[in-house]
Amino acid sequence: MSTKKILVADDEAVTLRLHHLIITRAGYETALFPDGASALDHAAEVAPDLAILDYDLPGQNGLQLTQAFRADPDLKDIPIIVVTGLREQEVAQSLRDAGANEIILKPFSPTLLAKSMEQFLALPA
């Protein structure tokens, strides 16, 4: 069975690396992107089992990226976790409406993130 792959989009290099560490320690592979546009351009090629998107991305933000994933036939079924520092209910609601499966608030718990990843990756495709 091939290793599951997680796409991560975050413009903060350190956070991107932190995600990489958390994900690889959990036994998964990563495909890391510094912005929404490149993540979207290559998502179909990467074919991830899960996407972790920062909300506050340059250009296309996490909400727009979620909407774009859900509108793409190749990407629409990929579970999406959005990480955001915004506490407003409206943000969370708009993300849910757009199809985000889970919203994790910053500062996020690496343990809880790993638990969420496992939860989604354990689901039958």
Partner 1 sequence: MEPSPQHSYGGHPPNSGSASGFTIPLTCHRTRIAADLTALPTVRASFAGFLAASGVPDEDRPRWELTFTEATTNAIRHGALEDPYLHITLEWWAEDAELCLAITDPGSGPPSNLAHAPFLPEDPLASSGRGLYIIADFCDTHEHWSSPLGYRQILRKRYPFLTTPLPGSADLDGVLIELATAYECMSAFHRFGTALISANGPASLLESAIENIALVQQPAPDFLRVFLAPTILPEIRDELATCRDVLTHEHAPPTVANVLATSSSTIWDRDSSIAGDPQLHHYSHGCAFPIIADGKTLGCVVLAARNRPSAFTPTELSNLRTLTDLLGIALANANLQVHRDDESRALRELEIAADIQRTLLLPPPAPTSPYHEITLRHRSIYEVAGDYLEARLDAHGQLVLCTIDVMGKGVSAAMLAALFRTVFHIELERPENAEKPLGDLLRTLNLALTAQLEPLTTFITCALARVKRDDATGTAIAEIASAGHCPVLALSPAGPAAQIEPTGPPLGLFLDAEYTTTSLKLAPNNPDYPDTLLMVTDGLYEWNDGTTWWGWENLVGLAALHARHDPDTFWNEILELATCRTSHHSDDMTLLHYRIL
What residues line the site for partner 1 (CB under 8 A)? Answer: 13-14, 16-18, 20-22, 29-34, 38, 41-42, 46, 105, 107-112, 114-115
Report DSSP state, residue 7.
E
Q: Who's near 109: CB < 8 A, 6+ residues apart?
A: none
CB nearer to partner 1: pick between 8 and 98: 8
Q: How far is the CB of 30 from partner 1 (least distance, A)?
A: 7
Amino acid (one-letter) located at 113:
L
Q: How far is the CB of 62 from partner 1 (least distance, A)?
A: 18
CA distances from 36 to 19, 40, 64, 108 (A): 16, 6, 9, 20
Amino acid (one-letter) located at 97:
D
Helices 13-25 and 110-121: crossing angle in degrees, nearest 10, is 60
CB nearer to partner 1: pick between 76 and 115: 115
Q: How far is the CB of 80 from partner 1 (least distance, A)?
A: 17
CB nearer to partner 1: pick between 41 and 97: 41
